Chain A
């Protein structure tokens, strides 16, 4: 059972480039979310989804887009990368909003 799979593990971008962080889960979870983790700031919610076709903004959504076309996948798109988006990104899923969150292993992103 793979759980939550994130790709890539590491990425370096130049300012202005776009890219998509991939997230897939095989637990048939309805709830999926994206967090970023910065030193001293903890985990902050970017976007979340309560099911296929339904997404909503979290605490820090600016500069990011998401879509949820299937239960399994929840990609995060950076539209025009900025140095302030240098961070570690985690995807998480759960069977419900207030249930146990399962995290992926993270993507370390550097924007130069």
Chain B
């Protein structure tokens, strides 16, 4: 079983829709939670970064962490065609011997104009 599970999609939505992207994980030691966006043939870029449980909002994007359920979400409001990309969740332990991020496999999002 993978430590981080993410539905690969593709997820196709009309422009203006609210998008919900999700990841589940099994390692209770994960403390930092991130969302990266990756356009085709490009490297990932950090979109959102949260520590522990709760919500964080940045413009049209909201990241939500529920550590009790081992479940994280990224919500995109008023989605735009420019949001079409692959979204990768990533997680890390903190202050342990494990010095790396664990990535989900990514969800491909298509926003139709």
In angstroms, how far is the closest chain A Cβ from the Cβ of B37? Answer: 11
Bitwise, A23-39 to B at CB < 8 A (1) or not (0) is 00000000001010000
List B contacts of A59 (CB < 8 A): 100
Residue from the list A35, A40, A42 in contact with B4, Cβ < 8 A: A42
Of chain B, the residue at the smallest CB distance from A88 is B41
| Complex Cα spacing A106 to B38, Å | 11
Nearest CB to that of A3 among chain B residues? B43
Q: Taking the nearest CB of chain B, how far is it from the CB of A75, in angstroms? A: 17
A45 is an interface residue with CB less than 8 A from chain B: yes
How many B residues face the partner with a CB closer than 8 A?
22
In the complex, chain B residues 61-108 whose Cβ is within 8 Å of any chain A Cβ: 88, 90, 92, 94, 99-101, 103-106
Are A106 and B32 neighbours in the complex by a CB distance under 8 Å? no
* Contacting residue for A40 out of B8, B44, B45, B49, CB 8 A: B8
Measured in the bound complex, the distance between the Cα atoms of B8 and A42 in whole Å is 10
- How long is the Cα–Cα vector from A97 to B32 in the complex, in angstroms? 12
A43-B88 in contact given A33-B100, A103-B44 (Cβ < 8 Å): yes
Number of interface residues of A (CB under 8 A): 24
Are B99 and A43 interface neighbours, CB within 8 A? no
Q: How far, in angstroms, from A103 to B88 measured CA to CA in the complex? A: 13
Question: In angstroms, how far is the closest chain A Cβ from the Cβ of B48?
Answer: 11
Complex-state Cα separation, A45 to B102, whole angstroms: 8
Instruction: Tell me whether A100 and B105 are in contact in the complex, defined as CB-CB below 8 angstroms, given that A43-B88, A48-B100, A50-B99 are known contacts.
Output: no
Tell me the B residues contacting A by CB distance below 8 Å.
4, 6, 8, 32, 41-46, 49, 88, 90, 92, 94, 99-101, 103-106
Can you spell out 8 A-B residue pairs with CB atoms less than 8 angstroms apart?
A: A42-B6, A45-B101, A56-B99, A90-B44, A97-B99, A100-B46, A104-B43, A106-B42
A-B complex: 8 closest residue pairs judged by Cβ atoms: A103-B43, A42-B105, A42-B103, A43-B103, A45-B100, A97-B99, A100-B46, A103-B44
Give me the interface of A with B, judged by CB distance under 8 Å: 4, 33, 35, 40-45, 48, 50, 56, 58-59, 90, 92, 97-98, 100-101, 103-106
